[in-house]
């Protein structure tokens, strides 16, 4: 009778183990968008998120939050680059190295990677699925589309992801969802269609942008001090368009000489 009981208990335990394993959900790292568009030679931002249960709606976080994270974004170095470690932004709540400094940011040929832990004084884990934001520049002359891929900051035996209780999460993250960048050729520069000067010495510039993607420009007011000589920029304003359409930019021209001209150039 005891032998049968022991065998029954062992069988139940095995069945429970199988059931628990089947209920475990795969976790993933993914970009904020399945695809990105960028003007030739322009910059674009990508965000990387954690989802501990890709079968559920929305990004799921560990019940106790994260203690640490580590991710790597890769791209063909002949297509795009991350120009500076300052282009890697880690959310403040997980932006430490555990030793009193900031989280780790590294760039190299074809990759950018980031790692961070919560502050030692934290009383709970990091609960936001956003892990890092990376600004990249698509190289001039590149056309068509190219992929972005994701991975861990470091491979095993390094533990990249730990929850607030110290449980290892890397083994649960089995899906790394990439993205695609499509380069859209710049059609032509913006065209100034008019301007007006207010009593408060503010110049409003009206312009039309034909480019099909978000673009950033400098609206400049220039003049030359001599009849023959170089034009000197006096003042400028950074302006952003969200695609084809008509826009206005305002530039302060207080005290500026009348003999000046306007231009809008790519930034």
* Inside any domain, residue 8: no
- Is residue 139 situated within a structural domain? yes
Say whether pLDDT at 223 is over 70: no
pLDDT at residue 77 in the model:
98
Asked if residue 59 and residue 178 are part of one domain, the reply reads: yes
Task: Using the 3D structure, point to which of 149, 184, 219 is the last residue of a domain.
Answer: 184
Within this chain, do residues 118 and 40 fall inside the same structural domain, yes or no? yes
Residue 3 lies in a domain: no
pLDDT of residue 107: 98
Same domain, 139 and 76: yes
- Same-domain check for residues 35 and 154: yes
Task: Report residue 218's pLDDT band, with 50, 70 and 90 as the boundaries.
Answer: low
One domain for residues 169 and 206 = no
Range of the structural domain that residue 51 is part of: 25-184
Same-domain status, 76 and 137: yes
Q: Are residues 65 and 150 in the same domain?
A: yes
Q: What are the b/e assignments for 164-196, b being 16+ CB within 10 Å?
A: beeeebbebbeeeeebebebeebeebbeeeebe
pLDDT of residue 267: 54
**Cα distance between residue 58 and residue 156, in whole Å:** 28
């Amino acid at each position: 009778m005891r032998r049968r009981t022991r065998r029954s208990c062992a069988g139940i335990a095995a069945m429970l183990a199988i059931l628990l394993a089947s209920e475990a959900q795969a976790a993933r790292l993914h970009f904020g968008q399945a695809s990105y568009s960028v003007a030739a030679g322009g910059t674009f931002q990508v965000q990387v998120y954690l989802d501990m249960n890709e079968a559920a709606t929305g990004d799921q976080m560990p019940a106790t939050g994260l203690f640490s994270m580590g991710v790597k974004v890769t791209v063909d170095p002949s297509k795009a680059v991350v120009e500076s470690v300052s282009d890697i932004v880690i959310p403040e709540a997980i932006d430490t190295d555990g030793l009193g400094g900031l989280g780790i940011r590294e760039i190299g040929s074809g990759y950018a990677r980031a790692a961070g832990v919560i502050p030692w004084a934290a009383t709970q884990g990091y609960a936001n699925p956003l892990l890092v934001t990376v600004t990249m520049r698509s190289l001039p002359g590149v056309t068509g589309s190219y992929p972005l891929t994701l991975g861990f900051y470091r491979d095993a035996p390094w533990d990249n992801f730990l929850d607030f209780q110290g449980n290892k999460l890397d083994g649960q993250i089995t899906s790394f969802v990439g993205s695609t960048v499509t380069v859209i050729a710049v059609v032509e520069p913006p065209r100034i269609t008019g301007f007006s000067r207010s009593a408060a010495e503010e110049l409003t510039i009206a312009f039309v942008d034909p480019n099909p993607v978000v673009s950033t420009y400098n609206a400049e007011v220039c003049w030359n001090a001599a009849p023959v000589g170089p034009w000197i920029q006096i003042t400028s304003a950074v302006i952003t368009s969200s695609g084809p359409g008509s826009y206005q930019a305002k530039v302060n021209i207080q005290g500026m000489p009348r003999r000046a001209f306007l231009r809008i150039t790519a930034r």
